[in-house]
C-alpha cells in the first residue's frame, strides 16, 4: 500500500507558481490553494508567463497531487437567479484554469439551501453542474464535491446527498468526493470510534464507491460530535482526537490518499499538524 501524502492549504497571493515554494517551505507533500480570493468575485486573468512558471514548478517540485479549492462565495444551491448564475460562471472560470494548469483536483462546497426545501436546493445544484459540465470538458482535473457539516442548510452533509449530486454525471465526467473529517464528525458520523469509522467507510463504499473518494481534508473539530458546525481545530486538539486520524491513515483504502490540512494558520502549526499525522502511520 502506498503511504498517504500529507500536506496543507497554502497562500496563492502574488503569483500562482509561489504555491510550490510555500508548500516546500512548509514541508508539504501535497498542497491546496485558491485561484482567486475566496471572499471576492473578482477574477484575474493569468498571464502566459505566470502559467508557464506554474507548469515548470509543477514538473520540478516533488509536490503531488495539487488541489484547488473553489471560492467560498459560490452557491450552486441558491434560489437567487443572479447569485446562482454568478456561481456557475465562477466555477467555469476556475475549472478552465485548473484544466489548463493540469490541476489534479478541484474541491467545492456544493451549496446552501438557505430557506429553500432541500429537494429544491439539490435540483438547483444539479442544474448548475449540468451547465458547468456542458462548458468544461474535464480531461486533467477531477471535480470533487466536499462532505459538509450541515450548517445553514448545507447540501452534502450526508452520503445520500453526495450520491444524488454525483450520480447523474459519473459516466460523463471526472467527478468524485473530498471527505472532510471535521465536517463528517459535525454532521453526525462518529469516526472517533472504530465502529463508527468502519460504518462510515462501508456507507461510502455501498452508496458511492470508495474509488470516488480522492482527497481527505484532515481537520479536528472545535465543536462536539453532531454539532452541525464547521469549526476546524489542530489535529488532536479538538473533539475528534487522534484516534480517528489513526483509523484513516492506517486503513487499506484511506491510507493511500492525499491529506490536506485546513487547520488554523498560527505560527508553525502546519508543520506540527503534519508531523502529528505522519506519527500516526504505523
**Per-residue pLDDT for 63 more than 80?**
yes
Say what the pLDDT of residue 39 is. Answer: 83
Give the pLDDT mean for 179-191. 98
Domains and CATH numbers, the chain: 5-279 (3.20.20.150)
Phi-psi region for residue 159, left (φ > 0), alpha (ψ -120 to 50) or beta?
Answer: alpha
**Per-residue pLDDT for 244 more than 90?**
yes
Closest to 226 in 3D by CA, of 215, 213, 239: 239
Cα 240 → chain centroid? 19
- pLDDT grade for 38, boundaries at 50, 70 and 90: confident
pLDDT tens across 113-160, in order? 999 999 999 999 999 999 999 999 999 999 999 999 999 999 999 999
Give the pLDDT mean for 172-184. 97
pLDDT tens across 50-59, in order? 999 999 999 9
- pLDDT grade for 2, boundaries at 50, 70 and 90: confident
**Per-residue pLDDT for 1 more than 90?**
no
pLDDT tens across 69-109, in order? 999 999 999 999 999 999 999 999 999 999 999 999 999 99
C-alpha cell, 172: 460523463
What mean pLDDT is reported for the chain? 97
Phi-psi region for residue 102, left (φ > 0), alpha (ψ -120 to 50) or beta?
Answer: left
Say what the pLDDT of residue 70 is. Answer: 98
Say what the pLDDT of residue 75 is. Answer: 98
The four Cα atoms 157, 160, 165, 171 give a dihedral, to 10 degrees, of 140
Amino acid at each position: 500500500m502506498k503511504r498517504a501524502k500529507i500536506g496543507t492549504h497554502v497562500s496563492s497571493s502574488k503569483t500562482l507558481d509561489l504555491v510550490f515554494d510555500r508548500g516546500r517551505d512548509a514541508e508539504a507533500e501535497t498542497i491546496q490553494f485558491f485561484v482567486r480570493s475566496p471572499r471576492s468575485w473578482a477574477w484575474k486573468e493569468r498571464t502566459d508567463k505566470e502559467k508557464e512558471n506554474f507548469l515548470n514548478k509543477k514538473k520540478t517540485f516533488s509536490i503531488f497531487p495539487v488541489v484547488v479549492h473553489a471560492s467560498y462565495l459560490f452557491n450552486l444551491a441558491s434560489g437567487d437567479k443572479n447569485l446562482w448564475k454568478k456561481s456557475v460562471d465562477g466555477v467555469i472560470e476556475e475549472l478552465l484554469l485548473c484544466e489548463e494548469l493540469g490541476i489534479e483536483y478541484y474541491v467545492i462546497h456544493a451549496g446552501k439551501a438557505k430557506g429553500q426545501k432541500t429537494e429544491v436546493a439539490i435540483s438547483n445544484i444539479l442544474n448548475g453542474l449540468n451547465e458547468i459540465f456542458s462548458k468544461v470538458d474535464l480531461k486533467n482535473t477531477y471535480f470533487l464535491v466536499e462532505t459538509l457539516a450541515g450548517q445553514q442548510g448545507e447540501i452534502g452533509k450526508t452520503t445520500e446527498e453526495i450520491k444524488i449530486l454525483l450520480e447523474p454525471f459519473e459516466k460523463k465526467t471526472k467527478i468524485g468526493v473530498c471527505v472532510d473529517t471535521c465536517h463528517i464528525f459535525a454532521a453526525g458520523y462518529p469516526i472517533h470510534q472504530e465502529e463508527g469509522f468502519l460504518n462510515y467507510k462501508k456507507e461510502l463504499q455501498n452508496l458511492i464507491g470508495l474509488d470516488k473518494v480522492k482527497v481527505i481534508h484532515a481537520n479536528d473539530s472545535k465543536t462536539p460530535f453532531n454539532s452541525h458546525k464547521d469549526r476546524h481545530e489542530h489535529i488532536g486538539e479538538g473533539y475528534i482526537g487522534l484516534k480517528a486520524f489513526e483509523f484513516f491513515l492506517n486503513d487499506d483504502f484511506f491510507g493511500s490518499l492525499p491529506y490536506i490540512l485546513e487547520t488554523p494558520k498560527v505560527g508553525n502549526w502546519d508543520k506540527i499538524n503534519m508531523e502529528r499525522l505522519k506519527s500516526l502511520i504505523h
